[in-house]
């Protein structure tokens, strides 16, 4: 589990390798990740956009931008959470993801809530110590 807090918005990520959607012999690996966004503040916030940086095991970087998450732009009330699950395919047996959510508060001010960097590890990844 990976967690970060930005301006009272807590983002927790739980990644999991999905063996039945992966084909290692074909160079296809798939991870699901569940994200919980908790509003620890006193005012509601709305998640309006997302930005991901996805780096595969070879260092190839892909940037992903889009509105909301899983087709929604949720309003998260104080003390409440929004949870969703999505996925990421890679052509390497390991990688890393990080990013941010664009949040808007009641005054209309926008800010970026950090999505903590999290590793995408499969049983097929070579383990090295640095």
109: domain range? 2-121
Which residues lie closer than 8 Å to 39 by C-beta, 6 or more apart?
8, 9, 45, 76, 77, 78, 79, 80, 81
Strand locations in 1-130 (E): 2-6, 9-17, 29-39, 45-56, 61-67, 75-76, 81-90, 94-104, 110-121
Is 126 part of any domain? Answer: no
List the CATH number of the domain containing 70: 2.60.40.1470
Q: For residues 48 and 75, is the Cβ–Cβ distance under 8 A?
A: no
Instruction: Look at residue 127 and tell me if it is in a domain.
Output: no
pLDDT at position 127 over 80: no
Q: Is the pTM of this model over 0.85?
A: yes
pLDDT digits (tens, 9 = 90+) for 69-98: 999 999 999 999 999 999 999 999 999 999
Handedness of CA 34, 121, 64, 44 (dihedral sign): positive
- DSSP lists the bridge partners of residue 12 as 3, 36
Residue 114 belongs to a domain: yes
Residue 7: exposure state from Cβ atoms within 10 A (0-12, 13-18, ≥19):
middle
Which structure tokens are listed for 33?
């990740």
What pLDDT, in 10s, does the model give residues 27-57?
999 999 999 999 999 999 999 999 999 999 9
Is residue 128 in a domain? no
State residue 128's pLDDT score. Answer: 60
Give me the number of domains the chain comprises: 1
Say if 100 falls within a structural domain.
yes
Tens digit of pLDDT for each residue in 1-14?
999 999 999 999 99
């Amino acid at each position: 589990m990976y967690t970060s807090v930005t301006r009272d918005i807590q983002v927790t990520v739980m990644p999991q390798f999905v063996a039945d959607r992966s084909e290692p012999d074909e160079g296809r690996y798939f991870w699901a990740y569940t994200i919980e966004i908790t509003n620890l503040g006193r005012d509601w916030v709305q998640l309006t956009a997302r930005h991901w940086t996805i780096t595969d095991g070879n260092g190839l970087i892909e940037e992903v931008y889009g509105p909301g998450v899983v087709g929604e732009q949720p309003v998260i009330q104080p003390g409440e959470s929004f949870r969703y699950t999505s996925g990421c395919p890679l052509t390497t047996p390991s990688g890393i993801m990080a990013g941010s959510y664009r949040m808007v508060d009641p005054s209309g001010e926008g800010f970026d809530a950090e999505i903590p960097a999290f590793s995408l590890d499969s049983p097929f990844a070579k383990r090295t110590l640095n």
